[in-house]
Chains A and B, each alone.
Chain A
């Protein structure tokens, strides 16, 4: 569980972890490892409406709103993309919509991901972030419309 850490604190952790790597070989090894460890999404979520546009590989993303916090689940048929998603989930999942919406996610730049990945793929990464923020925005609006307790039925 992300627990009490802020998104920024988690980003800081990821940057620190990456600073231990000397080469991109090692970084990719790590990302691939994250990708393999992220649980597969159940088939019932692998719907067209959950697909994220803008990626060469297929990415599915779903979200859930519980106790005022947004939780993400995602999957991809590309292990590297799945590893990247895993990092995004680690940073963003389990936070309030407002915090997610305000997240700058500078860590992607700082670990060199944006410059290392070719333009088209980093666009895919941005598409994922956008989708995560869209979910958060939707929950935020819902919270306003239906009152604070709406998400707590679970």
Chain B
């Protein structure tokens, strides 16, 4: 394990690292340095314990049984809902829909709200830095309805051109769906202003919070977004569970997504009436174990302190940016003034994949490629980048290793 003095007072990096068992393993004979946090974060012991605790202690299907296990499981599952409500500042627990993750959340809105409200000639606005999961569902909808997809352009630093966005807004705009933080660039978008302007134009808003939920304070009421989607696995929680927040009036008025058990009130062959929120959108047996363990992840964030984590990550970002800028031929892609803790970069005459392979050989996990943002890569005229993204447990010593690894890789490759 890499030891170092705390970067900031009160930030017990060694203790935090100690909570992540995976950080004790080696990769290719070297201590693991995990810099692929934007793809998914590692899980602290308490999340792992919550998962096994459910399966060993009270595994049961929820909401239907009256036996003890079913009651315990239901209570734990619903506790996560309460914790999520607090985590994002939602007005009520009915507004928290559990999904598989961000992707399912966006699709749910596109299929239900979208089918109901989008007509031929309508416009949907997204941005040039969207993840494929906030592009494709809208494309499918536009194709089906004869609506048009409009894209907010960006500048060379990777920031949205707000004036251009305002020009795109109009009476035909029905939906504005933008990413809060770009997974490829790290850019923090001014979503509050984006939402305000959309509302003035009479449009509904969705925020893709996949990358922001772990790093920024989220308050959906302050933001006033109509929908907010994120994934548990990017904030120290398990895979396969996530959240769609929606304003109650909207969720109430929308048609159902999937039909089945859980989501119904009464079923006959003539007519089915639907359950109330949030169950209306949670058809079938949900991902009980992972959703229960998700709460342990939120607890972990609370215990360390989101503000503390944010400051730690800011320090890492500044340090890494300075270190990488020293490297000859390295160009950082995404230099927005407001960024979360990730750095995308390209290096002259080297392919990201080669860098990724050589870094992996030193136990360093980074992501290479287009990061599911092919249209964005096209704008920068590159096939992809190498991306290092930081989390609560990363250290400056690890960043030194990254810089050294890159120097060595460049020497080999050029």
Contacts and interface: CB of A to CB of B under 8 A. Distances in A.
Contacts of A29: 412
A19 interface: no
Interface stretch (B236-244, B336-344, B350-358): B350-358
Given A29-B412, A32-B413, A121 B361 contact: no
A28 B354 CA distance: 10
B368 interface: yes
A55 B354 CA distance: 12
Contacts of A25: 361
B351 A79 contact: yes
A56 interface: yes
Contact of B412 (A28, A58, A77): A28
Contacts of B383: 58, 77
A57 B412 CA distance: 18
Interface in A21-46: 24-25, 28-29, 32
Nearest to B360: A118
Interface residues of B, number: 15
A135 B220 CA distance: 57
Interface string A78-105: 1111000000000000000000000000
A103 to B, nearest CB: 25
A141 interface: no
Contacts of A28: 357-358, 361, 412
B369 interface: yes
B28 interface: yes
Interface string B267-285: 0000000000000000000
Contacts of A118: 360
A117 interface: yes
B387 to A, nearest CB: 13
A58 B358 CA distance: 18
Contacts, number: 40
A32 B360 contact: no
B357 A80 contact: yes
B404 to A, nearest CB: 13
Given A57-B353, A121-B353, A79 B368 contact: no
B369 A80 contact: no
Given A81-B353, A121-B353, A24 B412 contact: no
Interface residues of A, number: 16
A81 B355 CA distance: 12
Contacts of B368: 56
Nearest to A83: B354
A24 B412 CA distance: 13
A78 B351 contact: yes
A77 B357 contact: no
Contacts of A78: 351, 353-354
A77 B361 CA distance: 20
Contact of A56 (B28, B361, B369): B369
Given A32-B413, A56-B368, A80 B361 contact: no
Nearest to A77: B351
Contact of A24 (B28, B350, B353, B413): B28
Interface in B174-227: none
Nearest to B357: A80
B183 to A, nearest CB: 17
Interface in A106-146: 117-118, 121
Nearest to A32: B412
Contact of B351 (A24, A57, A117): A57
A99 B99 CA distance: 52
B353 A56 contact: yes
Interface in B370-402: 383-384
A18 B86 CA distance: 57
Given A24-B28, A56-B353, A121-B353, A79 B361 contact: no
What are the 6 A-B residue pairs with the smallest beta carbon separation, nearest first? Answer: A78-B351, A57-B353, A80-B354, A78-B353, A56-B353, A78-B354
